[in-house]
Amino acid sequence: MWYPKTVEFDLQMKALFDKVDHYIEDIYGDRYELHPMRPRRGETANPEADGLFNVGAIFTPGFGTEIGRGYIINLKLSTLEIVDKNVRHEIYKTVVRKVKELLPLFFPERELRVLQCRNHFKIVGDFRLGSI
């Protein structure tokens, strides 16, 4: 059984990253040949499952980091082409900028921010779900 506020939070996070996915698909989606086993953009009901990009966040308790717990921003490109590391870095920075822009819109009641943690970016802040 899931705590309803956890489900609500996860749905908001999913909606945010679906918006980010559409944004980067609009900018970079035609730069590389899509992996032959990957559906074209819009062919599925889930932006994670089609198009060039799969962008989302993975929770980490943050043990051993100075920042602590949070959601690591994760970006995957679905292509067999070699993507230059500078281009990959540019795309990742675009994703981070968009996430920073959208966080207060999707989570207005929370103080969330994006910080760099080593070679990753992490959403950190108020993840409290209230009392049961």
DSSP per residue, 76-124: EE--SSPPPHHHHHHHHHHHHHHHHHHHHHH-TTS-EEEEEETTEEEEE
Number of neighbouring beta carbons within 10 Å of residue 55: 26
pLDDT, averaged across the chain:
92
Q: What is the pLDDT of residue 57?
A: 94
Q: Above 60 in pLDDT, residue 132?
A: no
Q: How far is the C-alpha of 90 from the C-alpha of 118, rounded, in Å?
A: 17
Band (pLDDT 50/70/90 cuts) for residue 35 is: very high
> pTM of the prediction?
0.91
According to DSSP, the β-strands at 112-117 and 70-77 are: unpaired
Q: Distance between CA atoms of 28 and 98, rounded to whole angstroms?
A: 14
- Collapsing DSSP states into helix, strand and coil, what is residue 48? helix
Angle at alpha carbon of residue 90, lines to 35 and 97, rounded to 5°: 110
pLDDT digits (tens, 9 = 90+) for 54-84: 999 999 998 888 888 999 999 999 999 999 9
Domain boundaries, the chain: 4-125
What percentage of the chain has pLDDT greater than the value 70? 98
Query: If you average pLDDT over residues 15-21, what whole number do you get?
Result: 97
Residue 53 one-letter amino acid = F
